[in-house]
Amino acid sequence: MSGYTCTSPRCGVEDSECSISYLPCETLLQVFSYLPAKDIVACIGTCKYWCEVINNSESLWKIQCLTLNNSNQCIQADKRAGHTWKEIFKKNYGANGIKNLWKQGIFSNLKSYRELPDRPFCRLDTDSWGQILEWELERS
C-alpha cells in the first residue's frame, strides 16, 4: 500500500475509511514505540489523529529519549529543569544532539575516527559548523 495516506472520518476527511485510524491511542502508541524516530516523525504527517496521539504522548517521547546516545546526565538535567520529554528529544536529536555533544567537548581532541560514536552523523548547515568552530577555538 505505498503512497497510502489516512483519510478516515476521524481525520476530518470524508468519503473514505481507514480501519487503523479506529485503533485506540494506547494501541497506536504501543506500535509507535517500536519505530525509530524518523518513522515517528513520518507518522505525525499521516493524519491529524496520529499527529495528536504522538504529540501528546510523554511516554513515547521518553522511550525515544532513552534511545539517544547522549549523556544520560544531560537528559536528566533537562528533565529536572522542567522540560517535557518531547522538548528533550528535540533538543538532543539529530543536528541538535550533535551540536550539544560537541559543545560538551565529546568530539574534541579525538585521536582517531574510531573514537567517534557508532551512530551516524547527520548533515549540519554552515551556521552549525560555525558554532562548532567557535566552541573549538574557545577550548584551545
Task: Give the amino acid at 52.
Answer: E
Which residues 6+ apart lie within 8 Å of 5 measured at CB? 46, 47
Question: CATH number of 1-56: 3.30.1490.190, 1.10.3720.10, 3.40.50.2000, 1.20.1280.50?
Answer: 1.20.1280.50
Is 90 exceeded by the pLDDT of residue 81?
A: yes
Cell (9 digits) for 15: 468519503
What confidence tier does 47 reach under pLDDT thresholds 50, 70, 90? confident
Q: Where are the domains of the chain?
A: 1-56, 71-140
- pLDDT for the residue 140: 75
From residue 124, how far is each of 36, 55, 60, 66, 128 by CA, in Å? 20, 25, 26, 23, 6
Predicted confidence (pLDDT) at residue 121 exceeds the cutoff of 70: no
pTM: 0.62
**Residue 37: its H or E element:** helix 37-44
CA distance 86 to 113: 31
Q: Which helix (H) or strand (E) holds 39?
A: helix 37-44
CA distance 138 to 73: 23
